[in-house]
């Protein structure tokens, strides 16, 4: 049973790869003791020529357009109306408003069949079209390859499921389930890529930059007279003095501690000086006594 399972798994792997899509099971499998009925039930992947006849061209379109408008607020309403008429929607936008210009960079998604129509509407709204670039990307080959790989993976999955129903040993069941998990992971990844391509093909992208140039207006600053500025300076100076005075009052605990420290320091210094004076007096007295003792006559 293990030898048969190993040969069957090798056959599945050869079918699953893209390099052996049109290969068939060799007749020599009978001589190795393989179950020919099970091998004949394995799916044969479709050829690429068959897929090419059923799939239309898959084109991803991207446009870059910059337009100048007379009045941004009014023309923006026309842009929004055009988006609704073509079933388009805004992905993101970046509005900037300066003294000289109002500009907005808008990223738009539009159905592929409405792509040219929306571009034409935007061009008609514009006072001037600065530039309009259209890029196309043909993903037909990638789309066919993904669809073929997905179909092959699903057929191999079904074959493993049939084999799982025929298997009785736990060891073989675990091996088949592990292989099924790998195949299903690949199927989910392939389906995700296929959905992404379908969305990119179905919805084209328009990167619109719309702006309005504004007339520069000089607004002179209203300067104050000398007396007004003098009055303001005096007021600011007085307020500064009050603020500083209030700040000093706020530090009253520090002033108390400083005063206590000052008087304590003076007391310590005074005490040391008195002790030094007492020591000097004692030294003088001792010196005098020693001199008197030396002057007394000896009998």
Domain locations in the chain?
57-217, 226-289
What is the average per-residue pLDDT within 129-155?
Answer: 90
Q: Which fold has domain 57-217?
A: Alpha-Beta Plaits (3.30.70)
Tokens 């000093």 belong to: 248
Residue 280 pLDDT level (bands cut at 50, 70, 90): confident
Q: What confidence score (pLDDT) does residue 42 get? A: 44
Dist. CA 65–CA 42, nearest whole Å: 53
The label of the residue with tokens 């998604």 reads 109
Average pLDDT over residues 214-231: 74
Q: What is the pLDDT of residue 48?
A: 42
Q: Which two tokens stand for residue 16?
A: 């699953």
Q: Is the pLDDT of residue 110 over 90?
A: yes
Q: How confident is the model at residue 234 (pLDDT cuts 50, 70, 90)?
A: confident
Counted residue by residue, the chain has a size of 299
Cα(292)–Cα(299) distance, integer angstroms:
16
Q: Count of CB atoms within 10 A of residue 85's CB?
A: 12
Average pLDDT over residues 129-144: 90
> Has residue 141 got a pLDDT over 50?
yes
Q: Is the torsion defined by CA of 184, 150, 37, 29 positive or negative?
A: negative
Mean predicted confidence (pLDDT) in 78-88: 93
List the single range of 141-155, 198-212, 274-288 with lowest mean pLDDT.
274-288
Band (pLDDT 50/70/90 cuts) for residue 13 is very low
At 176 the pLDDT is 86
Mean of pLDDT over the chain: 79
Residues whose CB falls within 8 Å of the CB of residue 107, separated by 6 or more in sequence, listed in order: 90, 91, 92, 93, 205, 206, 207, 208
CB atoms within 10 A of CB 149: 20
Residue 172 has pLDDT above 80, yes or no: yes
């Amino acid at each position: 049973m293990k030898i048969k399972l190993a040969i069957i798994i090798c056959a599945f792997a050869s079918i699953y790869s893209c390099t052996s899509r049109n290969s068939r099971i060799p007749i020599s499998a009978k001589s190795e003791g393989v179950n020919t009925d099970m091998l004949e039930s394995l799916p044969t992947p479709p050829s690429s020529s068959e897929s090419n006849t059923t799939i239309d061209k898959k084109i991803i379109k991207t446009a870059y357009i910059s337009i100048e408008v007379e009045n941004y607020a009014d023309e923006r309403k026309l842009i929004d109306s055009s988006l609704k008429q073509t079933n388009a929607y805004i992905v993101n936008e970046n509005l900037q408003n300066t003294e000289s210009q109002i500009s907005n960079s808008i990223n738009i998604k539009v159905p592929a069949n409405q792509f040219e129509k929306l571009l034409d509407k935007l061009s008609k709204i514009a006072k001037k079209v600065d530039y309009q670039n259209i890029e196309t990307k043909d993903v037909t080959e990638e789309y066919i390859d993904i669809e073929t790989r997905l179909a092959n993976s699903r057929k191999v999955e079904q074959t493993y499921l049939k084999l799982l129903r025929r298997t009785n040993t736990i060891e073989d069941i675990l091996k088949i389930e592990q292989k099924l998990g790998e195949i299903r992971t690949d199927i989910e990844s392939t389906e995700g890529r296929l959905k992404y391509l379908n969305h990119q093909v179905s919805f084209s992208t328009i990167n619109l930059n719309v702006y309005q140039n504004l007339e520069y207006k000089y607004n002179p600053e209203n300067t104050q007279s000398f007396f007004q500025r003098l009055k303001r300076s005096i007021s600011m100076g007085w307020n500064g003095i009050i603020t500083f005075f209030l700040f000093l009052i706020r530090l009253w605990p520090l002033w108390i501690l400083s005063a206590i420290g000052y008087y304590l320091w003076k007391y310590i210094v005074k005490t040391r000086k008195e002790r030094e004076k007492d020591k000097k007096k004692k030294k003088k007295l001792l010196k005098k006594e020693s001199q008197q003792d030396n002057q007394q006559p000896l009998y």
